[in-house]
Every structure is written in C-alpha cells, then in structure tokens.
Amino acid sequence: MAVNKESVCMLPDIQFVQRPGIIEFGWGHLAAELLPDTELLHAATWVLSRDAYPALTYGFAQGPGRLLALLAERLAVPETELMITGGTSQALDMLCKQLTKPGDVVLVEAPTYHLALRIFRDYGLRFVTVPGDQQGLHVTAVTTLVKMLRSRGERVAFLYLVPSFNNPSGVTLNAERRAELARLALALDLTVIEDEAYAELWYDAPPPPPIASFAPGGSLIRLGSFAKVLAPGLRLGWMQAPASLIQRCVHAGMLDSGGGVNHFTAHVVWALLQAGDFEPHVLHLRAALRARRDTLLAALARAMPAGVTWRPPLGGFFVWLRAPSTIDTTALLTHAEAAGVSYIPGERFYAGGGGRNELRLAFSMLPPDDLVEGARRLGQVLKQALQRA
C-alpha cells in the first residue's frame, strides 16, 4: 500500500534526537549497533510463523504462561510471585497505585534514578533521603528514619533503591547490607522495591544476590527489565513480589480490560530466550560496554582538571563526576552545550537537594571517538569554570 507522505505526521519517531554539533552524554540508551535486531527478527518470525494466534490475541493479565514459567526457572521463584510489566516505569506506576496515597513518604537513595522520582511525584508522594557511601545506603539509617517517621504518625509507603550499579552513581549495595536490609524489612514490615535494571550488565564480577533472596516471603519487591539488556523499545520487564500483591495488580482495571501488557512483545522475548540467543547477546553487550567504559575513563584521566573526581563503575551505563564545590553543574550546562558537549546535572538525581557540583555521563550510546572528544570538551569547560571561580 502506498503511503501519502503529505499525510504523515512529522513528529519525531524516537525519544532521543541528536542535536547537530553536540556530543550527548545525557542519554542512557544503547547504541544502535548493540541492539539485537537480528535475534529479535528471528524470534518474531518464529512467533508469527509457528504460533501467531496466542501472540496476537488478548493475553493473560499476569503475562504469557510460557514466559512466566521460563522466568520462574531462571530466577528460582514461584510463578505466582511473578508478572510481566511494561518495563520498570510501568511497574513503578502500578505499584504506586496499589501501595500509596498522596502525602505518603518514600525513602530513596541520594542520588537516585531521577525519572523514578518523576513517577513518585505524579502520586503526590514525599521524599526522605537515606544517606550512604561507596558500599550503598546505610541500613541503620533506614531503621532510624522509619521509626522516627512512624512515631510522628507519618506513613512510609516503601523504600526504593537501585542496588546494583546505581543510576547515576554506579554504586552497588554490598551483600552484607542486602541481607541486613532484608531482615530489617521483615522486622519493620517495610516494603522495599529494588530496581535491578542493570544487574546483568556487570563488567568484572556479578553483583551480590538480590535483596529479595535474603528474606523470601517478606514485603520485598524486585523489578527487572529487558530495556537495558535487549532493547528499550520492547517496553517489557517483570516484577517479583508477594503473590497477594501480584494478584492485586493483575486484577486492576487496565489489565482486566486489555489483557497482558505488551503481550506480543512478551512472546517474542520468550522465543528469543528459548532459542538460546539471550546469553550470547548479553556476553557481547558486556564486552562492548566495558570497552566504552574503559575508553571514557582513559579520556577523563587525560582531560579532567585537578579536583574533578570519579570512580570506575563496575557495571551499568554511567560515570558519575564530582567537581570542586565552586562548580554549579546546572549553570555550567549552557556553557558545555555551547562548547559541543552535554550531560545531566547532578541535582536532578537528588530528591531533597544536593548534587550541585556533580554530573552524570552516559557512555552506552557513544562511539569511542565521541567519548574521547566529549571528555576533552568537558574538561576544557570545567577548566575555564574553575578559572572563573
């Protein structure tokens, strides 16, 4: 069928738009060459040629049974404690509907994933930040904060954290604190949501076991996503939670009306997993991201002025930079973009203020030459800012 070009809406097709002349460190996306288009083509072809009807009709609200069974085996959890979601963002939105009311408190790390904060704000939630260090959040501080807030009659809806290769800081919560946090959640009847979007993207060693594994049966919720390890356009992820909460989510009106979320995509991902294409792809992806990380770290070491610091991330997409306290990275962004380089200022990742002199660099989308040149441009901008300070 011919398409009338005049009738086609000229809106962008994708979230990311490349601005001419600017090296974009702000977007935590995979480069086009890292997306498994061939594997997904094979999987989609198999589904449409061998098993089209179950994939193209309304799906089971909890998700396709075949994908739930496969995930249950991979994660070593009961199928009753799993459901398929439209990625982490949709899962967080769904959990906010089920678990919160306006004015509730959410405990978050500092810094934390800035777009999760955006979802929580949609529901009128208030933030209390939990301090931490290079081993993750301080679990003793969680205890103190929960008890203090409850003593004042405030309701703590949940604790949200990114325990493995945190976005943006790259910090990983160590095993001892994970176990301690799981015990604490049971003792205080505290719901904990761990966002494990980057857990499979480790470079040197895998992260510790998930928090949920340390206290089965508690109010521990684990979110996983295929966005970072396969492709964000799939809009597919999963949630592990107590069976009672899964059923509350499954019986929500949206799923009752429309069936499973991204049902066809779920069948395609099942076919890719079943074909054995997932593990080779993830191995390739880790190697490619490790190489990009190493390129950026070497470029930063050459380009950054004295006083700018960072820690090599052991997984994920990001390097977190800390400049001297005289630098305001939000104000500096205009100068950086005029020099042809962009980033996300650190203050966007703090719920309660902070991050004024910090910034996040994403290396997952950029080729090596851009990583090197972007670091050089940013280094020059920071040098000039320090001279003006």
pLDDT reported for residue 13 = 75
Q: In the block, which residue shows the tokens 């074909």? A: 275
Residues 6+ apart with CB under 8 A from 65: 79
pLDDT reported for residue 352 = 87
pLDDT along the chain (389 residues), means of 10: 49 78 96 97 98 94 96 96 96 97 98 97 98 96 98 98 97 97 95 97 96 88 97 97 95 86 96 98 98 98 98 97 98 98 98 95 97 98 94
Domains of the chain: 5-30+279-388 (3.90.1150.10), 39-274 (3.40.640.10)
**Pairs from 58-61 (Cβ < 8 Å, separation ≥ 24):** 58/258, 58/259, 58/260, 58/263, 59/259, 59/260, 59/263, 59/266, 60/259, 60/260, 61/250, 61/251, 61/255, 61/256, 61/259, 61/260
CA-based R_g, the chain, Å: 22
Q: In degrees to the nearest 10, what's the CA dihedral of 258, 261, 262, 265?
A: -130
Q: What is the distance between the alpha carbons of residues 30 and 286, in angstroms, rounded to a whole number?
A: 12
Q: What is the distance between the alpha carbons of residues 100 and 190, in angstroms, rounded to a whole number?
A: 13
pLDDT reported for residue 4 = 52
pLDDT reported for residue 3 = 44
pLDDT reported for residue 125 = 98
pLDDT reported for residue 256 = 78
pLDDT reported for residue 5 = 46
The DSSP letter of residue 314 is: S
